[in-house]
Amino acid sequence: MGYPQKLLAPGETISFETRPHWRALFVPAIILIATVFAVTWLYFWIDTTQFGGTVMRWIVLGAGLLILILWALVPFLRWVTTEYVFTDRRIIVRSGIITRQGRDMPLAKVNDVSFKVPVMGRILNYGELDIQSAGENEGLTIADVPDVEDIQRSVYELIEADDARRRGVPGGPGAAGGAGAPHIEPPMPE
């Protein structure tokens, strides 16, 4: 994936980064397979010797292409262009195909990190991460997070390390003689 280093603050390091869970690609994959099958079958089923047969074939191809673009390609591009980056100082969410949008939350402002795992999330190992901020805004909700429980625990470790760095705790991360940013193991990829 590789979040660009030039977008990080001086001294800021990436602890781990991830994308939305792969289950977001399940429905687009089914639509892709079903559409290709249906369009191929209809294309060869339509008789070109009948009046309008060739026109009907073009209509079927056009409709199939439209379905593939809207319900298979666009969701895939959304998935590819969405990234969740956790640094030693903030949480970064970036998404967007043509226009980009992003949200950053400093770890110093985080009050609470909770998660919700739906029934399918327990089976496929994903959930929703809800991060409450001390600021005036409503917080940050990240949907379809893989290994959400591990991510929540890692975020708490990052918050504690950031707090120690800001307070200048002797021997803590970022202090003179300290070990630097903590090494946080990223969740196992699926």
| pLDDT score, position 126 | 96
Q: Identify whether 7 is part of a domain.
A: no
Alpha helix positions (H), the chain: 26-45, 53-68, 74-80, 119-124, 148-167
Q: Identify whether 101 is part of a domain.
A: yes
Side chain identity, residue 190: E
Does one domain contain both 163 and 108?
Answer: yes
Does one domain contain both 105 and 51?
Answer: no
Q: Which of 52-61, 79-88, 117-126 has the lowest mean pLDDT?
A: 52-61
| pLDDT score, position 177 | 39
Q: Which of 78, 111, 142 is the endpoint of a domain?
A: 78
Predicted TM-score of the model (pTM):
0.81
13 closest CA partner among 173, 188, 178, 177: 173
Does one domain contain both 118 and 159?
Answer: yes
Does one domain contain both 109 and 163?
Answer: yes
Domain count for the chain, please give it.
2
Q: Identify whether 189 is part of a domain.
A: no
Does one domain contain both 160 and 107?
Answer: yes
At residue 138, does pLDDT exceed 90?
Answer: no
Question: CA–CA separation, 93 vs 41, rounded Å?
Answer: 42
Q: Identify whether 185 is part of a domain.
A: no
Question: CA–CA separation, 136 vs 186, rounded Å?
Answer: 30
Domain range spanning residue 137?
Answer: 96-167
Question: CA–CA separation, 42 vs 23, rounded Å?
Answer: 29
Q: Identify whether 106 is part of a domain.
A: yes
Radius of gyration of the chain (CA): 23
Does one domain contain both 160 and 120?
Answer: yes
Does one domain contain both 69 and 101?
Answer: no
Q: Identify whether 73 is part of a domain.
A: yes
